[in-house]
Amino acid sequence: MRGPHNILRLIRTLATFQRTGALPVILSQAEAPARLRLAAHILAWPFTWLGLKGDPSLPPVVRAITALGPAYIKFGQILSTRPDIVGGDLAMQLRYLQDRLPPFPTAEARARIEAELGPGSFEAFTEFSEPVAAASIAQVHHARLIDGRDVAVKVLRPDIERAFRVDVDAFYTGARMVEAFLPSSRRLRPTDVVRHFDGVVMGELDLRLEAAAAGEFAVNTAGDEGFRLPAPVWNLSGRTVMVMDWVEGVGLADTAAIDAAGHNRVILASRVLQLFLNHALRDGFFHADMHHGNLKVGPDGAIIAYDFGIMGRLDLYTRRVYAEILYGFIRRDYRRVAEVHFEAGYVPRDRDIDEFARALRVIGEPIFGMDASHISMARLLSYLFEVTERFGMRTRTELILLQRTMVVVEGVARSLDPHINIWQVARPVVEAYIRENVGPRAAMRDLARTARVLARFGPRLPELVEARLIRDDPEPTVIVRAPSRAAWVAVGALAALAGVAIGTLF
């Protein structure tokens, strides 16, 4: 579907923001220069008639985003958690996008359930409500099974995959145009970012994968105090339908209801942030869509997570890099933070490490020890962008979900406790991870893992070495005799024993 018609789609996007009155709101909130505002209006005005009308009862920005489709709604959900960036009023308006979008008819949901699970499958429910929540991709119904269990039934929207495909194809076109006309943007890898978004969204459109993610997440977090999630009902779940346990709770966006229920919002804010850090660092598998609409607080004060369509995964090395960067900021050791960036390849080696450390100090010092109400996140992000440009830092697609989720989670925590000190809250989690995973004990565990891998390949090592010797020198002038197979097997056995011995100690 990629082609010139996507240019029309992008023009329609700009025209929709103009027609709904959203463009001046966005430009004003972004404090855009007067010349940029004038240029945007001049560019958009001739195409206003192409813009979508949207729902006139909604505020301008929400009206434009809902009219444009699900991919735009996803972006709006992220912004809804950042009143420090988009302003308090606009953030409150954007929360409409989290779970209050127009639903599709219940009769159609029932038809989709039977089409997915087979004729008569709807008879598994003795009760089935009207939609209780509707978001960009799916809607949720409250139901009861024959065995009396209360469940939530999630059903994908009709034609949602095609709708996303149209939006994402237009994003690809836009990214290629940006790269072509703004060469300086190539370090940000717009096309790769869109490709990453494409893969994440396509995975979210298969509810079987979401159920699998929920199962893995439940195993990882079984011992986490103050956190739980609903379990999937596998025999009633498929690609377009997923059934999970029903869990009661108050949405984290409803601060008045949280206060009325007697919950401590300061504790909840700290818990949300620490849970995310624990899942990302300890497990390397985290909920990557933690906006208000996917989080509730139970009667016992536990955080309840929903919607596991977007999950992030980090390998062990990336987790250690991330932890060392956070730990360096917490200790105000900007030189070490700079070194970690260079060691991980996040900054080109031809740049000055001391200059980079000084730039990091400019980021860290103004916010260290400050509560969130005194930090301008918009100004901080602006300076971060300047730093990445100055030091030639490229977008790391493997970190996009982590960085995006960190921004969202911090926004949720701020909404619960406007005075939260993110460094103070993060410190115990990061320090615990550093103690366990950076140092002599971690080095010994790494050696144990290496030994176990070598042991698994021990029987094949003779063949691999012989093949390499022949490939490198098919007509050798000096005969090189490879070690015997028995010798290699012995080496493999010794490596296995060493791996087991070291592994039992750590």
Three-state SS annotation for 115-169: HHHCCCHHHHEEEEEEEEEECCCEEEEEEEECCCCEEEEEEECCCHHHHHHHHHH
Q: Which two tokens stand for residue 401?
A: 């979900």
Same domain, 376 and 469: no
Residues of the chain with pLDDT under 70: 1-4, 30-32, 78, 81-88, 99, 184-185, 188, 368-385, 397-398, 439, 442, 471-506
Q: How many folded domains does the chain comprise?
A: 4
Same domain, 269 and 239: no
Beta-ladder partners of 141: 131, 153
Same domain, 427 and 483: no
Q: Which two tokens stand for residue 421?
A: 């000190």
Q: Which of 392, 423, 438 is the last residue of a domain?
A: 438
Q: Which of 246, 274, 297 is the last residue of a domain?
A: 246
Tell me, what's the pLDDT at 437? 80
Q: Which of 246, 280, 312 is the last residue of a domain?
A: 246
Same domain, 237 and 201: yes
Which range of residues forms the domain containing residue 85? 5-99
Same domain, 353 and 377: yes
Tell me, what's the pLDDT at 289? 86
Catalytic annotation, residues = 289
Same domain, 123 and 210: yes
3-state secondary structure of 506: coil
Tell me, what's the pLDDT at 478? 46
Same domain, 196 and 340: no
Instruction: Write the pLDDT tens digit of every residue in 25-46.
Output: 877 776 667 777 787 778 788 8
3-state secondary structure of 251: strand
Same domain, 303 and 432: yes
Same domain, 157 and 235: yes
Enumerate long-range contacts of 378-383, CB under 8 Å, 24 or more apart: 378/84, 378/85, 381/85
Same domain, 409 and 397: yes
Same domain, 338 and 191: no
Tell me, what's the pLDDT at 495? 42
Same domain, 424 and 356: yes
